[in-house]
Structure formats: C-alpha cells, structure tokens
Amino acid sequence: MSNPVVQVCPESVTAPQRIMPVTIITGFLGSGKTTLLNHILNNRHGLKIAVIVNEFGDIDIDSQLLVSVDENMVQLGNGCICCTINQSLVDTVYEMVDRGNSVDYIVVETTGIADPLPIMLSFVSTELRDVTRLDSVLTIVDAESFTPNHYESEAALNQLIFGDIIVLNKTDLVSPQIVGGLEDYICSIKPGARIISTQYGEVPLPLILDIGFNDASTYLNSSKPTHAHDDKHSHHLENDGFVAVSFESELLPEQLHQRPFNLPKFQIFLNHLSPDVYRAKGIVWFQGSQLRHVFQLSGKRCDMKSDRSQSLNRNQLVFIGRNLNAEVIKAQLVECIAI
C-alpha cells in the first residue's frame, strides 16, 4: 500500500482571531461524512464549532444522528446545497460570525450529490470572503463501495477534483492491495492528491482543521461569483439523474402512523430493494421494541443499530438513487407496517 501523502500540521487546532475558518466536508453518498463530523465534534477539546448540515430529501436525518452541538447547528432546507445556496446561506454564516466568542469554527457538511465548486465560490467570491476563510475541502471516499462508475456523476467527480484532502475511509473493510489501488486511481484523477487513509472517519484533527490548504486561485476563475449559480451547476441533479424518496409515518393515515414496522417484513423489503438505490438512511421503530434504530445503507452494505439514548415511536426514511419509483417504494414500506 502506498503511503498517504499528508502535510505536517500544528499539534493543536487554534481558534481564529476575527476571520472565521470554514471546512467543507463533501463526498459521495454513504462515504462517511456524518461519521467524520461526529468524530470532529467528539474530539474538539473546547473548540466551539458551528455546523451547517445540508440534506437531500424532505426529512432531516443526518442532524438527528450528530452528537450535540447545542445551538450552533443549522439545518439548511431541502435540496442539494450547491443548487440552493443563496442569501439564506450568507445570512446563516453572518449570524454565526456575529456570535463572537460563541463560535470558533464553521464546518459545512454537504449532501452526497453536491458539487463542491459553487459552495466554495460562495465563500471566496461573495461578501462572505470578508468574514470567513475557506480553510480546506475534505472529500470522503468509501474504500469498500468505491467504483469508477461513481464518477459518471459530474458532482462526484468534482468532489474529488476540488478536494484539498482526500480521506480514504473504511479501509478496514478491504485489503491493503485494494487500498493501494484506490490511492493510485485517485492520484490518476488528481495528481499529487493529499490522501489520508482512515477507519470510522477517525482522523487526527490537526491534519484536517485549521491547516490552510485551500488555494482559491486554482479555481476562482472556474465560474462567475453569484448566489444564483449558472445552469451548469443548478441542473447537475437533473443531469446526474438523482432523486430522493422520503417516507415518514406521521404523514400516513391515523390508523397507520403510530404503528411500528414488522422487522421480518422490513428485511424482505430490503432484500428486494432496487439496485438503483445508492444510499438509504433513517430512524425506525420495530414491533416489540421501544428503542429507536438507526438504519444505514450504502451500496450493498446495510447496517442497523439500536440507540438506547432515545426512543422514537415513528419511522423516518430517505432513499437516494437514480430512476426511483417513489410511489412503489412508499407502498412497499406501508406493507411493512405491523398490523
């Protein structure tokens, strides 16, 4: 396996004086962005981090899975962040900056299908450049489910091209030979890429925060600065063909919305799930249990964990993929409800 290319960084993460540093976390569907963000929040050692989370889908799942960040977390509205960036993002960032000593650092987590370039330009080509400093763009790559087919998506390719650091995650799930091959492949797309191999998103924070890797001069002329980005960017979802299907039990008829799923039926549903589903996630409730269960699907890998810290008597799920039939998926999930 080739050695990851990283730069020697300070031993600790320092808080800014006036200009607020910003780190953007991006990466394809299911790569581990929220896991990395939780690692940052659990190991910040007093650094006051504000978080901006963007979801693609009608239901806010990711922010429910984050460890507490108190009042310093903002959930942007439904949609891909690179398509919905507008005055609301500018206002949100200004509000965070104006909090003074209550915020030291801003971390933005994009959706898995976001093109990072328009987001980057929003920080370096608008009035935000006067109050923020884009420190770096971290691109997470799933070592287990990665395939070059991901880069048939314009957004996924740009995540790699414009990433300042490539975090090759889940390396414990594949052989060293595969990891080495992935590193070589990434470097073929982005020569000289800084690559950090990791498991569970556990990267020492001095390697990824307040490192000053972003160089706006390399992409500043890629697009004109604007809040309403041009057609090339705003239509990338249509070009890539991604859709999100959301299911929430509270929106069902009264006789169904307070009922749990039947676990065997849900397992059968998963076994027959369309291969066009790239990513699924949710918080679900099963018959016979008062615990909430966190459901994650990435490619062919599926995971379900119970969470004893909270109970939740409702089901919330989001499926992201191409050419998905929303009505069929929702009807199949209704069939999973325990009678």
pLDDT for position 208: 95
Residue whose token pair is 């990466």: 27
CATH 3.40.50.300 domain extents, the chain: 20-238
Picking from 74-78, 176-180, 292-296, which range would have the lowest pLDDT averaged per residue?
74-78
297/304 Cα distance (integer angstroms): 9
Lowest mean pLDDT among 20-29, 88-97, 323-332: 88-97
Is pLDDT above 50 for 234?
no
Rounded Cα gap, residues 210 and 133, in angstroms: 10
More confident residue, 51 or 86: 51
Distance CA 318, CA 329 (A): 10
- For the cut 80, the answer to whether the pLDDT of residue 189 exceeds it is yes
- Strands (E) in the chain, as ranges, are 20-27, 49-53, 73-75, 105-109, 132-142, 165-169, 195-197, 242-248, 277-284, 292-298, 301-307, 316-322
Per CATH, the homologous superfamily of domain 20-238 is P-loop containing nucleotide triphosphate hydrolases (3.40.50.300)
| pLDDT band, residue 151 (cuts 50/70/90) | low
pLDDT band at 6 (very low <50, low <70, confident <90, very high): very low
DSSP 111: P
State if pTM tops 0.85. no
Average model confidence (pLDDT) for the chain? 79
Residue 324 half-sphere exposure toward CB, CA atoms < 13 A: 25
Q: Could you tell me which CATH number the domain at 242-335 has?
A: 3.30.1220.10
Encode pLDDT of 300-312 as tens digits: 788 888 876 666 6
Lowest-confidence pick of 53-67, 172-186, 207-221, 306-320: 53-67
- At 53-77, the pLDDT tens digits run 775 555 556 556 555 445 555 554 4
Is pLDDT above 60 for 228? no
For range 215-226, the mean pLDDT: 65
Instruction: Extract the tokens encoding 8.
Output: 């020697």
Supply the pLDDT for residue 70.
Answer: 53
303, 235 Cβ separation under 8 angstroms:
no
Q: How far is CA 97 from CA 41, 77, 116, in A?
A: 19, 20, 22
Q: Which of 219, 212, 159 is nearest to 189 (CA)?
A: 159
Structure-block tokens of residue 230: 């041009």
Q: Are 289 and 314 in contact (CB under 8 A)?
A: no
Per-residue pLDDT reduced to its tens digit, 92-150: 788 888 877 788 899 998 888 888 888 888 888 888 889 999 999 999 999 988 876 76
Instruction: Pinpoint the residues of the chain covered by CATH 3.30.1220.10.
Output: 242-335
| Lowest-confidence segment of 36-40, 274-278, 311-315, 329-333 by average pLDDT | 311-315
